[in-house]
Structure 1
Amino acid sequence: MSVVLLAEDDPAIAMPLSRALQREGYSVRVLEDGNATLRETCAGGVDLLVLDLGLPGMDGLEVCRRLRAQGRGTPVLMLTARTDEVDFVVGLDAGADDYVAKPFRLAELMARIRALLRRGAPETLEAGGVRLELTARRVLVDDHEVQLANKEFELLRVLMWHAGEVVTREEILRQVWPEPSRKGSKTLDMHISWLRRKLGDGHYRTAEQRIATVRGVGFRFNVD
């Protein structure tokens, strides 16, 4: 799951935007201070920084400059209430990857966020003899292509993105079935069964080795 760090000191903006990002399936951290934002981003584990220009402690421009000076390539989407073209240029010169002026349309902002995350995301995932080609939506098992339904593909994507880690049932349901009316443990178990069958090519032991059940928690895609 992509991690978005939202650096915004206005709760009226931070809270609705945080909820919207979570609905999109992102893990969101919210900070209100420039110094804390710089420390958190430099610590690693952040896939995208949504950075308000007018942060207390250290403004967004200085945060971005210091990140780039330290060689950090984390994508930065800068938010600002200023609309002067000079400010946009200064922000981009400071190292921002994109720039959105307030007030913004949520749909446009989310599209910009998706584009920046895609730019830094791998096009293929590989583990346990399975190759997942994200752009082509193609799956190869031991070099043989298998056909997956849409939800099976999304389920495999979530599991392989966290290959070697346990992904909770709740997290899988949130990412693969965001529609509340279609969400349920029976639905997940049914799709896990179908996915195992296709990845194991009928061999139950192989399927179990690839997708392991962690009882009471969730599932793990094994790397070996």
Structure 2
Amino acid sequence: MSLPPLPSVPTAGLRVLLVEDEHDIAANVWDFLERRGYVVDHCADGAGGLARAMQGGFDVVVLDLGLPRLDGLDLCRRLREAGHGVPVLMLTARDTLDDKLRGFAEGADDYLVKPFALAELEARLRAVARRGRSSGPLACGPLVYDPDVLAAQRDGRQIPLTRLQGALLEILLQEAPRIVPHARLIERAWGAAGADMAALQTQVYELRALVDRPFAQPMIQSVRGVGYRVVAPE
């Protein structure tokens, strides 16, 4: 991976945790990001990466999947189960659709397949960090979402969400009860890098399981061939 020329104005430093066991890749990514003003910490195995991520203080975690001591998918799942909503960008050589969907299901915010261009890594990193910023609590009827804690509440029940689930619910509540087209949902959740309908459907399925399934009336509605919307129960 060759380093593209530096921009004339360095990027303001986001705090990045890089969890990668391949020395050459880690060194290139670290050097590339630090030259652009990022603050980078590095762990070379999954167990160490999980412990460091649990301490908090990062804007983004850049996470390899094939790690020693603890697989990246397990790391991401444990991080989410512990209530940490830090955005996670996964790096992996696993490029099948099933692999990508599993990564999103475990709480990843984006997925970059090796080999990758460092400029694309930075673009995706900035996109997931931007989506992690709070817009304040949003509500529709009994459903409330607070981006600051990555949690929804419905009828008094607390519902922890992943960052990706939160991004989707956030735009649905911002537009409620209007229909949000599929393309706009994909852009909000995955940024300019995009995703496909299968990934969107997987995330909406998981979101419905949390927000609708335990309750008598569903609030997330699918408009066939168009998109999704949130409506308050009658």
TM-score by structure 2 length?
A: 0.51
Tell me the secondary structure at the aligned position of residue 82 of structure 1: coil
Q: 2: distance between equivalents of 1:21 and 1:92?
A: 24
Which residue, 127, 131, 148 being the options, matches 1:119? 131
Measured in 2, the distance between the counterparts of 1:103 and 1:13 equals 10
Letter of the structure 2 residue corresponding to residue 27 of structure 1: V
Unaligned runs of 5+ in 2: 1-12, 136-234
Q: How does 1:70-109 map to 2 (within 5 A)?
A: 70-109=82-121
CA distance, structure 1, for counterparts of residue 129 and residue 34 of structure 2: 15
How many residue pairs were aligned? 123
Give the whole-Å Cα distance in 2 for the aligned partners of 1:44 and 1:86.
30
1:161-190 Cα distance to aligned partner (Å, 9 max, x none): xxxxxxxxxxxxxxxxxxxxxxxxxxxxxx
How many angstroms apart in 2 are the aligned matches of 1:68 and 1:35?
Answer: 15
Deviations 1:73-95 (A, max 9, x none): 01000010111111000000000
Q: Which string of whole-angstrom CA distances, capped at 9 and with x for unpartnered residues, describes residues 127-171 of structure 1? A: xxxxxxxxxxxxxxxxxxxxxxxxxxxxxxxxxxxxxxxxxxxxx
Structure 1: gaps (5+ residues): 124-224
Distance 1:38 1:29 in 2: 13
Give SS of 2:18's match.
Answer: strand
1:118 CA displacement: 1.7
Could you tell me how far apart the structure 2 residues matched to 1:121 and 1:67 are? 19
- The one-letter amino acid paired with 1:105 is A
How big is the alpha-carbon RMSD for the aligned residues of Structure 1 and Structure 2? 1.3
- Paired amino acid for 1:77: L
Deviations 1:33-62 (A, max 9, x none): 101111111111111100000010001000
Looking at structure 2, the residues matched to 25 and 91 of structure 1 have their Cα atoms a distance apart, in angstroms, of 28
Which of the numbers 63, 67, 85 marks the counterpart of 1:55? Answer: 67
Equivalent position to 1:33, from 45, 51, 54: 45
SS in 1 for 2:68: coil
Question: What SS does structure 2 have at the residue aligned with 1:28?
Answer: strand
| DSSP 3-state at the match of 2:126 | helix
CA distance in 2, matches of 1:89, 1:35: 23
Cα distance in structure 1, aligned partners of 2:37 and 2:53:
20
| Counterpart in the other structure of 2:14 | 2
Q: Which runs of 4+ in 1 moved over 4 A?
A: none
Which residue of structure 2 lines up, in the alignment, with residue 200 of structure 1?
A: none
Q: Distance in 2 between matches of 1:86 and 1:119?
A: 24
> How far has the Cα of 1:122 moved from its partner?
6.2
Determine which of 12, 21, 24 is the counterpart of 2:36. 24
Deviation at 1:120, TM superposition (A): 2.3
Indicate the residue corresponding to 1:11 in structure 2. Answer: 23
Q: Which has the higher helix share?
A: 1
Partners of 2:70 and 2:116 in 1: CA distance? 23
| In structure 2, C-alpha distance between the alignment counterparts of 1:19 and 1:11, rounded to whole Å | 12
Paired AA for residue 29 in structure 1? D
